[in-house]
């Protein structure tokens, strides 16, 4: 057996609640009044202190307040709720609130139909839905399919419209503003030691056949991803003036970890966009002096080719990382050269990972963005890999084979699917199904899939590189 180890030194991974970790990490050194989340369209801002306060208030609502005020369901530690929303400033309130309450969240694709949503709601054993007002009708259709009566539906729905004008069609339901300010948990639920391996949230990943599977991502998985990713990002390069543009969907593992958790842990704000639109994207980069972006290749292509790009001041940009699909060398070169012509010297990297690996297992270090362009980088700290031939033997350097991964970011397993979990694991390694090769410096390329292609429109994609 030829085990490939990360070339980076191991980093400490805390064994505790994700909520506990986030609000201690850099919390004492970053001003409590420092922005944590900003709504790009309106400028509405939640500070780091407000994020904590609002989350603990919402945690109280989940555990006690919703039931007391509206007769809605009462949740206990270990229950599951579904989040069904486009990106909005409500996300940190309900997601961090769920962590504080000890409640698992299952993150549903905002493009789902009622039937797709129904499968995930049932499979995850969710007790309620936190829903954006624009998507309420899909939730109501789902409950209609399930033969849930209207008065029971009202006990299971909370509208995620923090900071928004109340939409008329939502008035019969409780919304976040109704529930905030009615009480708060004095402290979060603790997940110390081995309890940090309890599930924090469930994203759903599809295989080659059958329905999507719930990926059990633990508190410690996310803490590990946050710690590992920071080792290869130029976080201190812009002297604490960082701001990250949040255009990737928060419901996907890439956004959930690297937009909702990593920036807060590192101490810089996220400017939240409901969706990617090129002209508004350029406007927000200019307005908010965005320094960092996490993207997918189609966004890079649009940014490179869109005629409006040159009309905006993008000089604040320092770093762009791409995932979800291959980002070819010609496109990297094109966007880098065009941004440089506008006065922006940008480090452009990419990475590789999956839902099952809590986002990135590989990430190209920013200092190697030109020399190793086209690679998804080296294994992140604390990670190990094998590259395996069909006969189960390990490949030689430069030879392609199936990529296996082991380390603290690997999922706990698939929800209620012990056979699928067992089939995907061997000797602690997760069998990715991706074909990769590695060079003599430890830089990886992922070149193919064993059984399937990357899904279209980021609906059930794997976080990958070329």
DSSP track, 60-78:
HIIIIIHHHHH------TT
pLDDT at 130 over 70: yes
4-16+195-458 — its CATH code? 3.40.50.12780
How far is residue 66's CA from residue 421's CA, in Å, rounded to a whole number?
Answer: 35
What digits encode the pLDDT tens for the residues 156-186? 999 999 989 999 999 999 999 999 999 999 9
pLDDT at 24 over 90: no
Tokens of 205: 């990943």
The more confident residue out of 327 and 454 is 327
Q: Which fold has domain 47-190?
A: Rossmann fold (3.40.50)
Q: Are 19 and 94 in contact (CB under 8 A)?
A: no
Residues with Cβ within 8 Å of residue 159, at least 6 apart in sequence: 131, 132, 133, 136, 167, 170, 173, 174, 175, 176
What digits encode the pLDDT tens for the residues 420-449? 999 999 999 999 999 999 999 999 999 877
Residues with Cβ within 8 Å of residue 324, at least 6 apart in sequence: 254, 296, 297, 454, 458, 461, 462, 463, 464
Q: Where are the domains of the chain?
A: 4-16+195-458, 47-190
Task: Please give the pLDDT value at position 447.
Answer: 87
Mean pLDDT, range 396-403, rounded to an integer: 95
Tokens of 349: 């990297």
Phi, psi values for residue 403, rounded to 5°? -85, 130
Number of residues written out for the chain: 466
Residues with Cβ within 8 Å of residue 199, at least 6 apart in sequence: 104, 216, 217, 218, 412
Lowest mean pLDDT among 67-71, 290-294, 313-317, 427-431: 67-71
Q: How many alpha carbons lie under 13 Å from residue 58 in its C-beta half-sphere? A: 28
Mean pLDDT, range 266-289, rounded to an integer: 95
Q: Report how many helices (DSSP H) and strands (DSSP E) the chain contains, helices first.
A: 15, 23
Instruction: Name the pairing type of β-strands 35-39 and 45-47.
Output: antiparallel
Q: Are 445 and 425 in contact (CB under 8 A)?
A: no
Same fold? 4-16+195-458, 47-190: yes
What digits encode the pLDDT tens for the residues 187-219? 999 999 999 999 999 999 875 456 899 999 999
Task: Please give the pLDDT value at position 26.
Answer: 64
Task: Please give the pLDDT value at position 397.
Answer: 94
Please name the residue that has the structure tokens 């000797």. Answer: 427
> What is the residue-averaged pLDDT of the chain?
92
Mean pLDDT, range 66-90, rounded to an integer: 94
Task: Please give the pLDDT value at position 466.
Answer: 32
Task: Please give the pLDDT value at position 451.
Answer: 53
């Amino acid at each position: 057996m030829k085990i490939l180890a990360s070339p980076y030194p191991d980093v400490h991974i805390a064994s505790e609640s994700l909520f506990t970790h986030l609000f201690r990490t850099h919390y004492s050194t970053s001003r409590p009044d420092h922005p944590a989340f900003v709504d790009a369209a309106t400028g509405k801002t939640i500070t780091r202190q407000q994020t904590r306060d609002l989350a603990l208030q919402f945690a109280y609502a989940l555990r006690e307040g919703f039931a007391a005020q509206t007769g809605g369901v009462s949740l206990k530690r270990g229950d599951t709720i579904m989040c069904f929303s486009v990106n909005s400033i409500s996300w940190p309130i309900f997601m961090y609130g769920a962590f504080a309450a000890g409640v698992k969240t299952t993150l549903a694709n905002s493009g789902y139909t009622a039937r797709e949503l129904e499968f995930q709601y049932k499979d995850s054993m969710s007790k309620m839905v936190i829903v954006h007002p624009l998507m309420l009708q899909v939730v109501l259709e789902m409950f209609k399919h399930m033969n849930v009566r209207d008065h029971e539906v009202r006990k299971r729905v909370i509208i995620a419209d923090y900071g928004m004008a109340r939409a008329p069609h939502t008035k019969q339901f409780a919304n976040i503003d109704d529930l905030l300010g009615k009480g708060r948990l004095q402290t979060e639920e603790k997940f110390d030691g081995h309890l940090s391996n309890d599930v924090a949230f469930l994203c759903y990943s599809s295989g080659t056949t059958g329905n999507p599977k719930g990926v059990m991502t633990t508190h410690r998985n996310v803490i590990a991803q946050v710690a590992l990713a920071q080792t290869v990002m130029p976080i201190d390069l812009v002297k604490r003036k960082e701001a990250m543009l949040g255009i990737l969907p928060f419901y996907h593992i890439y956004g959930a970890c690297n937009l909702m958790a990593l920036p807060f842990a590192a101490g810089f704000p996220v400017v939240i966009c409901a969706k990617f639109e090129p002209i508004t994207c350029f406007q927000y980069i200019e307005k908010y002096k965005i320094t960092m972006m996490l993207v997918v290749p189609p966004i890079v292509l649009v940014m490179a080719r869109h005629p409006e790009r040159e009309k905006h001041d993008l000089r604040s940009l320092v770093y762009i990382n791409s995932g979800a699909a291959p980002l070819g060398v010609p496109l990297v070169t094109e966007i880098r050269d065009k941004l440089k012509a506008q006065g922006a010297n940008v480090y452009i990297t990419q990475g590789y990972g999956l839902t099952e690996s809590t986002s990135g297992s590989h990430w190209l270090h920013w200092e190697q963005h030109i020399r190793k362009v086209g690679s998804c980088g080296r294994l992140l700290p604390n990670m190990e890999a094998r590259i395996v031939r069909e006969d189960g033997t390990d490949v030689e350097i430069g030879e392609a084979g199936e990529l296996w991964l082991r380390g603290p970011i690997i999922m706990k397993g698939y929800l209620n699917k012990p056979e699928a979990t067992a089939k995907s694991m061997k000797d602690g390694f997760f069998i990715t199904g991706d074909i990769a090769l590695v060079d003599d410096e430890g830089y990886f390329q992922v070149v193919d899939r064993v059984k399937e292609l990357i899904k279209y429109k980021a609906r059930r994609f794997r976080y990958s590189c070329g």
